């Protein structure tokens, strides 16, 4: 294709989930409720941890970061998707598309790093409990959190800049609910083999490296738990990891399925479902998982509810 046919689009058209009006209205109502639940759930988790000093531990410090990432990720995608459900022309300007791609990639990468850091925290808590406070001190936790945010952002900046340098010719239809990396690259009218190689390499480095840390941590955790003599002790030790392990399984499992598939990659329907999973379902489930599977969080909720009802004078400090 000659250079005269290569152009840069100023806007894109998101095809979304359906073109039927009734379906779009129904999806608007459903996803609006889910987004409100997501925002409320994550903000309440953050508020609860801030208010209850018993939760001022490394695990819950990282959980605040995770909740902030979840609600930010959802906010970078869902409001625009809701507007498009009710709009006749579902266009998104080039700069908005680039910003959406950057934030979704950055926040997704940050979440993977945070989950790996939380796995290491659980390893220290279960396997080296007597040295937990000395190892997981405040300065280390802050550095680990900053490293997660910076690493995810740098990776996203690299992919975003490379992707939006590609000429798109006359094709401006994005068959997804938002500007997702693999979907946007498909619009290019030049060879994108190099971009795909970079995506694969960065996925291996920035996805599999944290994943391997998670696996190694849990191998050590499970080995330690099995050595505990009492069944009550084993149960208590496992409960400290159950919520995190559930989130890790959902988050990493879906990402590995998406980005480390053979050359054919996921289908269009799979891409849309995966996008919905990360944009709406996962951010909504995380607060529920940590609330329902964690005794400390449930206890703090009960204290907060009693305080709100005027049954106790204040939260424990």
Q: What is the pLDDT of residues 185-223, one digit of tens each?
A: 888 888 888 888 888 888 778 878 888 899 999 899 888
Instruction: Please provide the average confidence, as pLDDT, over all residues in the chain.
Output: 83
- What confidence score (pLDDT) does residue 290 get? 75
Does 313 fall in a domain?
A: no
Instruction: Specify the pTM.
Output: 0.84
Q: How many domains does the chain have?
A: 1
Q: Average the pLDDT over each of 22-36, 146-160, 231-245 and give the range with the smallest value.
A: 231-245
Would you say residue 314 lies in a domain?
no
Would you say residue 223 lies in a domain? yes
Q: Is residue 241 part of a domain?
A: yes
Query: pLDDT grade, residue 44 (50/70/90)?
Result: confident
Q: Is residue 155 part of a domain?
A: yes
Range of the domain at 286: 10-308
* Among 142-146, 227-231, 246-250, 268-272, the range of highest mean pLDDT: 142-146
> Which domain CATH number covers 117?
1.20.1070.10
What percent of the chain has pLDDT above 70? Answer: 85
The per-residue pLDDT for 298 is 65
Q: Tell me, what's the pLDDT at 317?
A: 45
CA distances, 94 to each of 158, 159, 172, 191, 222 (Å): 17, 15, 10, 21, 48
In a domain, 248, yes or no: yes
Asked whether residue 238 carries a pLDDT value surpassing 60, the answer given is yes
- Angle between helices 21-51 and 295-308 in degrees, nearest 10: 90
């Amino acid at each position: 294709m000659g250079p005269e046919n290569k152009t840069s689009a100023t806007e894109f058209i998101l095809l979304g989930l359906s073109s039927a009006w009734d379906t779009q209205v129904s999806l608007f109502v459903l996803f609006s409720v889910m987004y409100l639940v997501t925002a409320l759930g994550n903000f309440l988790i953050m508020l609860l941890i801030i208010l209850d000093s018993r939760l001022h531990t490394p695990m819950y410090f990282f959980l605040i970061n995770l909740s902030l990432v979840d609600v930010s990720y959802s906010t970078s995608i869902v409001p625009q998707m809701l507007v498009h459900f009710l709009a006749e022309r579902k266009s998104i300007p080039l700069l908005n598309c680039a910003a959406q791609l950057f934030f979704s990639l950055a926040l997704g990468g940050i979440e993977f790093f945070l989950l790996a850091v939380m796995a290491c925290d659980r390893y220290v808590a279960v396997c080296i409990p007597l040295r937990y406070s000395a190892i997981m001190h405040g300065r280390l936790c802050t550095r680990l959190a900053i490293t997660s945010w910076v690493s995810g952002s740098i990776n996203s900046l690299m992919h975003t800049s490379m992707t939006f340098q590609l000429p798109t010719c006359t094709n401006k239809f994005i068959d997804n609910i938002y500007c997702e990396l693999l979907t946007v690259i498909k619009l290019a009218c030049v060879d994108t083999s190099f971009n795909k190689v970079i995506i694969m390499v960065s996925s291996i480095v920035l996805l599999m490296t944290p994943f391997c840390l998670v696996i190694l941590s849990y191998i050590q955790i499970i080995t330690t738990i099995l050595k505990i003599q009492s069944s009550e002790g084993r149960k208590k030790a496992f409960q400290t990891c159950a919520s995190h392990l559930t989130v890790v399984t959902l988050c990493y499992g879906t990402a590995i399925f998406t980005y480390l598939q053979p050359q054919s990659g996921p289908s269009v329907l799979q891409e849309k479902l995966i996008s919905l999973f990360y944009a709406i379902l996962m951010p909504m489930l995380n607060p529920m998982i940590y609330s329902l599977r964690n005794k400390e969080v449930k206890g703090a909720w009960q204290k907060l509810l009693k305080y709100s009802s005027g049954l106790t004078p204040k939260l424990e400090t």
